[in-house]
A = this chain, B = another copy of it.
Amino acid sequence: MNKSIRDSAREAGAVVNGVRADDARALRADSVTQLRRGLILDAARAAFFELGLEGASMRAIARRAGYSPGAIYGYFASREEIYAALLGESLLRLKAHVDGAPDADHAADRVKSKASAFFDFYRQNPRDLDLGFYLFQGVRPTGLTRELDAQLNAQLRATLQPTADALSAFGLTAAACEAEVTSLFAHMVGLLVLIHTGRIRMFGQHAPQLLARHLDQLTERLGRSASSAAA
């Protein structure tokens, strides 16, 4: 995949023989390209963190990456594509974080573990939250391509799956489970927004505590429902 974005329609080179020097070179070039894409993404992240989404222009990104503005287009077709890549990668890290949260035996503990992991990721990485909001920000008519949007949505949904699975252990129907996970997701998003905007201070509250309380109440309620259903 060392093909530049612009010249990607080229055919693969002819196979020669033996250890295939061509392949080796292609692989090396490939990895170099990937490395540079990574460096540009790092620069983009840095620019975005320093300057905000609006301020992080292609020029700013290029400068930070040590490139001329035009050079970036060899790696990413547009500014949007850079942000999509950044977000995709962010969601990957989020997923890893959630997957890494302990898989407690009891359903209640598992819900708390997984939901808190989701929450904590964004609480501890506020820039990733910015990134996550990028796609949402305002009414965005000219956004990403439809497929890319769908893919990012799917990635986001996947990070909530462990929580959904834990919830379903309470014996919920699929529909009820979806309602609960949506509601919980909304709750966490709201808390994150309050943290992010500093508005939580306005209430003199501590967000993690509020989430913990919310999760307690949620699991308690579900526990009650489950036992009454069993009766």
Contacts and interface: CB of A to CB of B under 8 A. Distances in A.
Nearest to A54: B138
Interface residues on A, range: 35 or more
Contacts of A214: 183
Contacts of A66: 10-11
28 contacts: A3-B14, A7-B59, A7-B63, A7-B69, A9-B63, A10-B63, A51-B141, A54-B138, A55-B141, A133-B138, A136-B197, A137-B137, A137-B197, A138-B196, A153-B202, A156-B202, A178-B205, A179-B210, A182-B200, A182-B205, A183-B210, A185-B194, A186-B193, A189-B190, A189-B193, A193-B193, A217-B221, A221-B221
A131 to B, nearest CB: 10
Contacts of A187: 183, 186-187, 190
Instruction: Report copies per complex.
Output: 4
A93 interface: no
